[in-house]
Amino acid sequence: MEGLTNPLDLPVAEMAARVRNIDDPLTASELVETSLLRIEAIDPALHAFLRTTPELAREQARVVDARVEAGEDPGPLAGVPLGVKDNIAVEGVPLTCASKILGNYVPPTGATSVRRAVDAGACIVGKTNLDEFGMGSSTENSAFGPTRNPYDLERVPGGSSGGSAAAVAAGMVPLALGSDTGGSIRQPAALSGIVGMKPTYGRVSRNGLVAFASSLDQVGPMARSAADARILLGAIQGTDPADATTRDLPAVTGSGAAELAGLRIGRVEEFSLAGVAGGEPMEAAMGDVHKALEEAGAESVELSIPLVKSSIPIYYIVAPAEASSNLARYDGVRYGHRTSDAGALQALYAKTRDEGFGAEVKRRILIGTFALSAGYADAYYKRAMAARSALRRGFERAFERCDVIVSATTPTPAFLLGEKVDDPLAMYLCDILTVASNLAGIPVMNVPAGQTEDGLPVGMQLWGPAGSEARLFDVAEALAETTGHAYRAPVIPAGGDA
């Protein structure tokens, strides 16, 4: 590592290439030790990790180094430290979903996405914090305490993949896996100044991802750059016999920037933040981005998708309804927490769930159960599903007129810890610009779009039709070259060298 103070600061492709080069002194074991030391120094200030997995990471690193010594290629992620959101199973490592309900549960098998990342050479250094079962937009709903934003320790990192976002932003790991049900990769990526991709529904297996809302959930990459995220998505994508919803889509491969000249950029009227309190920095940033695109020769296309305005009410019927069904399995009988104060079976169920679930999870179970109940399913759930189908068709029509849609990711920059935690509606509206893509099943990614005057990150989204992730990565790289907006390392007070 001559002349290099921290190999974790390298681009992932270069990091892995050096590990694969037997003549280079950088090894997977050195990368893992560097990551673990950085977590030890920085994470006490952030609480991005619920647990580290040093023994597992070191063993995986030894395997990578042994393969290099034997003249084998360990894969495109050779030796790269990886954080995994703690609703994604890693074999033999406790799985909590940031909830008390799972107790000391240890999954007997790992998620397909995790196995594929490890097969590509990644080394898992820990499980990251989240809003309980992925239900939240700030990582304050974790049963084990909130995660803090690396750019301002008094602010949230976003959610629910806030631990993964903070871990990448703070430089503890170059890559992390998150999950996105209504914006849970992109919103924390935006508030934490990194790249996050929600793939097309079905591109990445959900096997081993603890279900929140099964028709919306997707595993995706979080990274410092589009190039890094592309490599991780390329490793974990593909059909899986263990997940019948996976789709045979064109593989995400290649690298490099797209030609912006002639690209049709959609501007959706309903994504405007004009008049939204606190939205001025986001509108200004988006204005600058569109100006840069037009100067680069892109064509601006004005669009309207009216049902986008209804995406929050549609989502908060569909997602809680699916959650109420999925979370019924946590009953204190088969695994996880069981109350010590129960007699009859119904009391066991009720007290176990009351003790194990947090307030937000209970709220969404109640909403979903009501929406599915006799006499109300037709009025709420079925109408929401019909509106969801119409919303999907609206995006299909929009992409007949444009190649990529560009929008802000969040209505405001990162907010203060505690600012919205007692106002569920205000918290739900944090996802006003993200949930539509989950309902439509299309790929969307967040990329950095600058900073506010206070130094808080601003993010923007690139939307594409199903299966267009490769194009989105190409456009993201071209935008970074054109605008100069990119990941900027934070300075973390009293937390070590970030």
The catalytic residue positions are 85, 160, 184
Sheet harboring 457-463: ordered strands across?
49-52, 123-128, 81-85, 175-180, 218-223, 195-198, 444-451, 457-463, 404-408, 264-268, 299-303
Tell me whether strands 123-128 and 49-52 are parallel, antiparallel or unpaired.
antiparallel
The answer for residues whose C-beta is within 8 angstroms of residue 347's C-beta and 6 or more apart is none
Spatial distance between the Cα atoms of 283 and 290, rounded to a whole number of angstroms: 11
Q: Is 462 within 8 Å of 445 (Cβ atoms)?
A: yes
Please give the C-alpha separations between residue 7 and each of 32, 67, 184, 414, in angstroms, as whole numbers. 10, 20, 29, 29
**Alpha carbons 116 and 122: distance in angstroms, whole number:** 9
Residue in 126, 133, 183, 192 with CA at minimum distance from that of residue 165 = 192
Eight-class DSSP state of 298? P
135: region left, alpha or beta (phi > 0 left; psi from -120 to 50 alpha): beta
* Residue 129, SS3 per DSSP: coil
Task: Report yes or no: 393 and 308 within 8 Å, Cβ to Cβ.
Answer: no
> Is the C-alpha dihedral spanning 487, 38, 1, 71 positive or negative?
negative
Q: Facing residues of 462 across strands?
A: 406, 445
Q: What are phi and psi of 196, to 5 degrees?
A: -145, 135
